[in-house]
Chains A and B, each alone.
Chain A
Amino acid sequence: MELPAPDPSILARRDAILARLRQAVGAEGLITDPVETRAYECDALSAYRCPPMAVVLPKSTEEVARIMRICHEEGVPVTPRGSGTSLAGGALPTADSIILGTSRLNRVLEVDYDNRFIRVEAGRTNLSVTQEVESDGFFYAPDPSSQLACAIAGNIAMNSGGAHCLKYGVTVNNLLGVKMVMADGEIVEIGGPWADLPGYDWLALVTGSEGQLGIVTEAVLRILPRPEGARPILLAFPSNEIAGACVADIIRAGILPVAIEFMDRPVLEAVERFVGAGYPECEALLIVEVEGSEEEIDTELARIRAIAETHDPIEIREARDEADAARIWAGRKSAFGAMGQINDYICLDGTIPVSRLPDVLKGIGDLARKYDLGVGNVFHAGDGNMHPLILYDANDPEEFARAEAMGAEVLRLCVEAGGCLTGEHGVGVEKRELMPAQFSRADLEAQMDVKDVFDPNWILNPAKVFPLTLSAPRRERRRPGAAAGADSPPAPPGQAA
């Protein structure tokens, strides 16, 4: 993984730039001590590290605007950071950049049950949004597994999902509005507690743009009434193929479970050793959860059981109560930790059409043999979001390189199967160079055109998402002190000026 060489003209002006930032946010909002900035040198993709020039922690939208105006004038790259839980290097800084962290922007601004929304500052953690409303019977649907720590700002940047997307969608489906600071420091408001936008869908563009289009400081989020209840059923099968076929049959029967989780044998063995989950001996295990009233849950679980029984299951275990449910979920919830006990791992998140599950799983197994590495699969089967965990030893650079190479091949396999490189983690630096596997040159140029319009000087998270050689001409256009303002081409004919 390569980062662009730091701009020496920025490093040379370091002290002057930091003085301006200190003036804007006060000493307590600025971290420049190299020991302290160390904590910001990486995100959850800790294999890649680089300390930033400084870390700025604003506590209001106005402070963010001031910071962005300074960085715009000085031509300083800005690495936005929520809680730093990105698995793709989305918050990895460069040496000539400042980190703009949202951690002090964490207030709840408005809760409105009649209109079913909550307005929060974007540094607030995902789980704390649900905690704010759950005693009144509501919840915020996207629930990435890092939800205890991850920030709404990061969720928006990466369009985060979670285990319940099949039914409730991902961040873009649950975001109603944002307050955002543009690259030049102007504050804009997009959407609000109502449906749709009057013109172009700015929310869809911003969501998943990996902090490259603006700094979201506030968000209006849709909240939903919590269902009366939820219970899982565990289905154990003798092969991945059969489990995959069962998933398709459940969906085809008109059942929309709130989650369908899939674990293969290597993961099952790991969780057995780690937590003694007590899962049946099998090749593939599904946990299917449905929601509703007790009667509805009974009916739906009976239908799922009937479908599963046509697929020669090794065992079916239905949760009768909360304790049963917790036992069924315990292994799944510890799966990543269990794999981490075996070794370091790279967690991929390519997504594939559900119908291709069996052959892609087989392909991943073949690649593991080719690269002589261990791999386990634990993923959201209902939406085809794979999470192959490739095991390697972090102290062995050769093995890490092999794991990276295998990861790239797995993702190409996902794309060839009709899927995509990343379902919920984002491209970041990790999958940047793989983008041409999914997109044509023209596709990528069109996306970079969008960035040009929002951030003409490419100061926001510039070395991410796009292959470095492709983005270089646009990134290198940046001139310190060149205040270019909004994209202002000559008005095309037929348009009001």
Chain B
Amino acid sequence: MTTTPLAPASEEALAEIIRDHAARRAPLVIRGGGTRPVGPPLDGEVLTTTALSGVTLYEPGALTLVAAAGTPLAEIEALLTEHGQRLAFEPMDHRPLLGTAGTPTIGGVVAANVSGPRRIEAGACRDTLLGARFVNGKGEILKSGGRVMKNVTGYDLARLMAGARGTLGVLTEVSFKVLPAPETEATLVARGHDAHRAVALLSKALGSPWRVGGAGYLPADLAGGTSETRIRIEGREDSVRARGEKLVRHLGGDWEMVRAEESAALWRELREVLPFVGHDGAVWRISLKPTDGPVLLDLLGQDGLAHHAFLDWGGGLVWLVTPDTGDAGAAIIRGHLAALGGHATLVRASENTRRTVPVFHPEPPRLAALARGLRHRFDPAGILNPGLMDPAPAPLTEHA
């Protein structure tokens, strides 16, 4: 049924489309660049924000950037680079992992709250989000937050939109706190440790005053035969060198210091989940207490769940690939998380698996009821990505 996506060129036109669809109870599939189709398959007419494009305000001296939701991420990153600044949360590009084409947009980054390895130091996408404009499911144009660093005026609906994946409203404009980009970076690499030892070292580094901006671990099977424990340091040249030396003394053992471009490639590998590109299977993204990262991997091994895995965020982010059969390991993984704490998202799997396994981690009943309550208030006709954020598998649409 889908032909050309609806691509309104103004906030008002977008609101009009939503009002029209709400009146007909006709579902919409909300999209930025369409590069991150995480979630169950959705039915409905595609609505993209790509025609709402452009940086509307950039004040390097105030560390502030405001952009229309459909602005290509690459355009924003290029502009920031020109002024020696960046989006500190280091958003992942999902295209290699998901095999998607298209142009990632800043609105898509916010809607999915996409953050990379630097999240452990700089916070998530939502942490640097200062404000947002969006259209709810009733076609009302709303705003929350603004363009200033500190703002406690009213409820934080802007951050509520981050990670809500278009189910409460369609983002039209977002504003960010940006940060200075460092002069250079380096990575300390230690080889041959097991996951427990690696996370102990990463914890020790993250608990030191030397500002670690990346802490990951690739086991032997994904690192060409010898495991790698990686620690990233960023800043001015002399500071990076000095902190690197202090960290090596603090941690003990053998560490190689990898510099500049070569260092950046190590983090691109973790950020874009390159070890799992071209690797068949279901891909899970699991957030948990950092020291529980290796514990979970042990438990999965004891259960006999075939998998490969690597760690980011000092052990607190597990990227896991499992066979894409049955529930792709959902019951086992989520069973352990019920005891350990944390949550697992099924980022990549066949359509069939995504129809039957809840892609997003089920919430306790009261929180799930609050989520339904919010959706009912923000999208009473149930037209914004219906079924995407429900813990139950998406029902087939009955109102096309």
Which residues of A are at the interface with B, using a C-beta cutoff of 8 A? 113-116, 137-138, 158-159, 161, 165-166, 169-170, 172-173, 182, 186, 188-190, 192-202, 204-205, 207-209, 225-228, 247-249, 251-252, 254-256, 292-293, 295-296, 299, 351-355, 380, 382-385, 418-427, 431, 435, 438-440, 442-444, 446-447, 449-454, 465, 486-489, 491-496
Contacts and interface: CB of A to CB of B under 8 A. Distances in A.
B150 A495 contact: no
26 contacts: A114-B291, A116-B206, A169-B127, A192-B289, A195-B119, A195-B124, A196-B163, A201-B126, A225-B206, A228-B209, A251-B60, A254-B85, A299-B239, A354-B61, A380-B150, A382-B149, A385-B150, A420-B153, A422-B151, A423-B151, A425-B152, A439-B143, A452-B373, A493-B386, A494-B399, A496-B392
B287 A194 contact: yes
Nearest to B313: A195
Given A251-B63, A254-B84, A443-B143, A453 B113 contact: no
Contact of A495 (B25, B209, B386): B386
B166 interface: no
CB-based closest 10 A-B pairs:
A248-B61, A204-B159, A492-B382, A423-B150, A198-B361, A494-B386, A383-B149, A254-B180, A453-B373, A198-B343
B291 A115 contact: yes
Contacts of A193: 289, 341
A496 B390 CA distance: 8
Interface of B: 25, 27, 59-64, 83-85, 113, 115, 119-120, 123-124, 126-127, 136, 140-144, 146-157, 159-160, 162-164, 168, 179-181, 200, 203, 206-209, 236, 238-239, 242-243, 287-291, 313, 316-317, 341-343, 345, 360-364, 366-382, 386-387, 389-390, 392, 395, 397-399
B155 to A, nearest CB: 5
A204 B160 CA distance: 7
Contacts of B160: 200-201, 204-205, 450
A205 B373 contact: no
Interface centre among B151, B239, B372 (most CB of A within 10 A): B151
Nearest to A411: B153
B387 A495 contact: yes
Contacts of A247: 61
Contacts of B208: 225
A119 to B, nearest CB: 12
B238 A295 contact: yes
Contacts of B313: 195
Nearest to B63: A251
A385 B207 CA distance: 30
B378 A354 contact: no
Contact of B367 (A202, A295, A296): A202
Contacts of A495: 372, 375, 382, 386-387, 390, 395
A248 B206 contact: no
A496 B153 contact: no
Contacts of A443: 142-144, 154
Given A137-B207, A293-B243, A419-B146, 18 more contacts: A116-B207, A196-B163, A198-B362, A199-B368, A200-B164, A208-B156, A295-B242, A299-B239, A383-B148, A384-B62, A422-B153, A446-B142, A447-B155, A447-B157, A449-B377, A488-B369, A492-B381, A495-B395
B62 A353 contact: yes
A414 to B, nearest CB: 9
A206 to B, nearest CB: 9
A192 B287 CA distance: 10
B240 to A, nearest CB: 11
B113 to A, nearest CB: 7
The secondary structure that dominates the B interface is loop
Contacts of B287: 194-196
Contacts, number: 299
B372 A418 contact: no
A170 B340 CA distance: 28
A194 B372 contact: no
A194 B341 contact: yes
A204 B398 contact: no
Contacts of A489: 373, 376, 380
B372 A491 contact: yes
Given A421-B153, A454-B370, A486-B370, A198 B363 contact: yes
A8 B29 CA distance: 51
B343 A496 contact: no
Given A188-B364, A194-B316, A158 B152 contact: yes
B371 A199 contact: yes
Contact of A352 (B148, B368, B370): B148
A61 to B, nearest CB: 15
Nearest to B379: A492
Nearest to B389: A199
The secondary structure that dominates the A interface is loop
A310 to B, nearest CB: 14
A101 B181 CA distance: 44
Contacts of A382: 149
A165 B157 contact: no
A455 to B, nearest CB: 11
A440 B141 CA distance: 10
A194 to B, nearest CB: 5
Contacts of A425: 152
Contacts of B367: 188, 190, 199, 202
A492 to B, nearest CB: 4
Given A225-B207, A295-B238, A425-B152, A202 B146 contact: no
A327 to B, nearest CB: 25
A226 B209 contact: yes
Contacts of B398: 493-494
Contact of B141 (A354, A421, A442, A454): A442
Contacts of A248: 61-62
A261 B301 CA distance: 54
A372 to B, nearest CB: 29
Nearest to B380: A492
B64 A199 contact: no
B123 A173 contact: yes
Contacts of A418: 146-148
B184 to A, nearest CB: 12
A173 B377 contact: no
Given A207-B156, A446-B142, A197 B343 contact: yes
Contacts of B146: 418-420
Contacts of B143: 439-440, 443
A92 B290 CA distance: 41
A216 to B, nearest CB: 15
Contacts of A182: 366
A479 B294 CA distance: 52
Nearest to B124: A196
A418 B143 CA distance: 13
B186 to A, nearest CB: 15
Contacts of A447: 144, 154-155, 157
Nearest to B393: A496
Contacts of A194: 287-290, 316, 341-343
Nearest to A452: B377
A31 to B, nearest CB: 29
A204 B377 CA distance: 18
A252 B154 contact: no
Contacts of B164: 200-201
B317 A449 contact: no
Contact of B149 (A114, A200, A228, A384): A384
Interface centre among A251, A292, A446, A449 (most CB of B within 10 A): A446
A165 B150 contact: yes
Nearest to A250: B61
Interface centre among A165, A188, A192, A493 (most CB of B within 10 A): A493
Contact of B376 (A137, A200, A492): A492
A351 B149 contact: yes
Given A114-B291, A493-B399, A423 B152 contact: yes
A299 B236 contact: yes
Contacts of A352: 148
A197 B168 CA distance: 16
